[in-house]
Amino acid sequence: MLIILGVAFVAFLLALRWLATLWTDYLWYASLDRTSVWSTLVFTRVWMVLAAALFAFVVFWVNLYIVDRLSPRTGVAPGSPDEELLERFQDWIGPRAGRVRLLVAGFFGLLIGLGAAAWWQDWLLFRHGGDFGVEDPIYDNDIGLYVFDLPFFRDVFSWSFQLLLVLTLVVVAAHYLNGGINVQGPGERTSGGVKAHISILLAFLALLK
C-alpha cells in the first residue's frame, strides 16, 4: 500500500511540474499574441502520443492474445527450472488472463507511445514542408525530401524498431511463463507455433534494422 501511495505521489508531482511548464509556456506565447502557435504545439504532441499509444496497444494486445492461443497455460514440463513458480503463476493468471492482457498492453502502449511526443517538429516539417525546386545530382530527388521528409521517416523507423524489440522480449517472456518454452526440461523445447511467432517478430526486426 505504501509503495502504491509513493508512486501516486511521485506521479502527482510530475504532473504538477508538467502543468506548471505548460501554463508558463502559454503565458509567454500569450504575451506575444501567439497563442495559436502554443495550441498547435500542444495538440500536435497530444494527438501524436494518443495515436502512437493506441497503435502500440493494439499490437501488444494482439500478440499477447496469440501467445495465449499458442501457449494456453496447460502446465509446465516436469523437471524444468522454476517449475513451481511457473505453476503458481499459471494458476493465478488463469481466471485473470483478459484483464492482465489489457493491463500489460495498456502499460507498454502508453510507455512506448510517449516517445512520439518528441516527433512534433519533424512531423510539422513533414506535413507543411515543400519543395526547393532543386534536385540532388545522384538520386534526382528534390532537396525538400531530405530536409522535411527524411527526419520524420527516421523517427517512424526508430520508433517501430523500439516497439518491435520490446514486443519481442515481452512475447518471449509470456510464452515462457505460459509454459510454451521449455528451457532445460525433457521433451520438445518449443512448439512449431511458438517458433513461428517469435521468428516472425525477429524477421520484422531484421527488416527494420
Least confident of 7-11, 47-51, 60-64: 7-11
Higher pLDDT, 1 or 171: 171
pLDDT for 183 beyond 60: yes
- Residue 73: the pLDDT is 60
pLDDT in tens, 118-163: 888 999 999 888 888 888 888 888 998 999 999 999 999 999 999 9
pLDDT for 66 beyond 60: yes
DSSP 142: B
Residue 9 burial (CB < 10 Å; 0-12/13-18/19+)?
exposed
Model-level pTM? Answer: 0.81
Amino acid at 27: L
